[in-house]
Amino acid sequence: MLDLPWGHHVVLLQKVKDPAARAWYAHEASAHGWSRAVLTAQIDTRLYDRAGRALSNFSQTLPPAQSDLARQALKDPYVFDFLTLGRDAQERDIEQGLIDHVQQFLLELGVGFAFVGRQVRLAVGEQDFYLDLLFYHLKLRCFVVVELKAVAFEPEFAGKMNFYLSAVDTQMRHPDDRPSIGLILCRGRDRVVVEYALRDVQKPIGIAEWETRVVASLPAEFEGALPSVEALEEELAADTTRDPSSSA
């Protein structure tokens, strides 16, 4: 096995039973300098099973060498266990949470991603458009536009991403940069719908799901047993308007 600290070997032997997966984790830990805590986290989030699994059109839109590298740079699903969001969280809530935990976010994205900005403005014609998140990938040598969705994938998401990538390539891409790549992170996706949506798109786009801890609602047996916010507000209003002389 690769030259790793003894603690890493213990983690690999205790937590990874499949020899091929163990060798893969050992190689990645050595290549990227993972600490034992990072190695443990990557195993716990099943990175071996997720790496390179995002649906994409890279083989049709990128040269073979870059296509393979881009495919390996993405995963499916992405696991944002450092977030705690309610079930009704909107895209901006997710985006803010990822920025608040940008170090963990970059770790989950993987080696090579450098954060460029959030809500990056693009002026096209007489309109302004804003990218959720913009990264530059040091190995792929290209911009990576990330769009966050709190819902399952819809075909129109691919069309909008194609538009964003055209604008980024025209306005921001350096002559030495490779074509920009889009990554759409959704709450779910239907493989057949994704394949149809990407079939004739000319820009390289990957589609993946994201997962996180969700703030649990009250158990059903307690729902209705506690007053609602509206009921509390009405009670407080009544208290403030009640005639003090009426109290016995």
What per-residue confidence (pLDDT) applies to 247? 44
Quick check: is 74 in a domain? yes
What per-residue confidence (pLDDT) applies to 82? 85
Quick check: is 59 in a domain? yes
Quick check: is 21 in a domain? yes
Residue 61's domain spans which residues?
A: 49-216
What per-residue confidence (pLDDT) applies to 213? 61
Say whether both 134 and 204 belong to one domain. yes
Say whether both 127 and 65 belong to one domain. yes
What per-residue confidence (pLDDT) applies to 245? 47
Say whether both 79 and 168 belong to one domain. yes
Say whether both 35 and 117 belong to one domain. no
How many structural domains are present in the chain? Answer: 2
Say whether both 166 and 55 belong to one domain. yes
C-alpha span between 15 and 224 (Å, rounded) = 43
What per-residue confidence (pLDDT) applies to 121? 97
Say whether both 59 and 135 belong to one domain. yes
Say whether both 128 and 164 belong to one domain. yes
**CATH number of the domain residue 106 falls in:** 3.40.1350.10
What per-residue confidence (pLDDT) applies to 85? 75
Q: 41-72 as b/e, with b when 16 or more CB fall inside 10 Å? A: bbbebebbebbeebbbbbeebbeeebbebbbe
Quick check: is 109 in a domain? yes
Quick check: is 108 in a domain? yes
What per-residue confidence (pLDDT) applies to 200? 93
Quick check: is 27 in a domain? yes
Say whether both 117 and 35 belong to one domain. no
What per-residue confidence (pLDDT) applies to 90? 86
Say whether both 157 and 80 belong to one domain. yes
For the chain, 248 residues long, the average pLDDT of each consecutive 10-residue run is 84 94 93 90 91 94 92 93 79 90 90 94 97 96 96 97 98 96 96 96 96 56 46 51 47
Q: 18-37 as b/e, with b when 16 or more CB fall inside 10 Å? A: eeebbeebbebbeeeebebe
